[in-house]
Amino acid sequence: MSIGVIGAGKWGSALHFALSQNRDVLITSRTPREIKNFVSLDAILECEYLVITVPAQQVAAWLEENFVFKNQKILVASKGIEATSGRFLNEIYSEYVPNENIAFLSGPSFATEVMQSLPTALVVNSSNERVAQEFAALFPSFIKTYTSTDVMGAEISGAYKNVIAIAAGICSGLALGNNAAAALISRGLVEMERFGAAYGAKKDTFLGLSGAGDLFLTASSTMSRNFRVGLGLAKGLTQQEILT
């Protein structure tokens, strides 16, 4: 069995650390890194299992320029909707990889805590239950994995919770209180579920790790980039000032 991680940022490095607990796992990125088992992209593409952390806004161009399908099984570990087209990641990846070969990772997962081997639980989502189970089995004991066939529910949750997290950060930055924050997050979850229903997503997904779990994490901690964006906006900073 050969496994490769594409992307050596915080999240890619955290996943490489986690997956390497019981076996050697390769990793690559655009720029060379001093990381164990760092190899070229060409070498990674020969792996049977690929974990891809390329950001949502870059993935379409990256796939077009770099990806060669060799019957690999793909775990997409990034979240978001392509801003220019409104496409979900499963729509983008399906142009290059058959749906039965793709899974999507969701759930509460700060990279910093994964790197410390702190416990969490994640969901591997795929229309192919066998592929989901194969990826789920790769994770170490400190990450409890579940599987689901609701890819759309997981995708919507992963993207929508970021908007609510920014609003929660604004709420905190304006010192509106814990009551307001709880109301905002809980009603945001209802909106997520209603939005998902329009796309045929399952209600249970939004009440589980992919929805409520990831939302609570992202909308309640300064470790969350989107929460920090909200805090900055509440202070009158521009988005550029916050992110630099």
Q: Is 161 labeled as catalytic in the residue annotation? A: yes
Site of tokens 């809980």: 186
Number of alpha carbons in the 13 Å side-chain half-sphere of residue 60: 14
- Please name every residue paired with 106 in a beta bridge, in sequence order, or none if there are none: 123
Backbone angles phi, psi at 78, to 5 degrees: -110, 165
Question: Among the options 73, 79, 161, 202, which is catalytic?
Answer: 161
In angstroms, the CA 69 to CA 84 distance is 25
Taking CA atoms, 201 is separated from 53, 100, 152, 162, 180, in Å, by 23, 18, 6, 18, 28
Q: Are 125 and 158 a contacting pair, CB within 8 Å?
A: no
Active site residues: 161
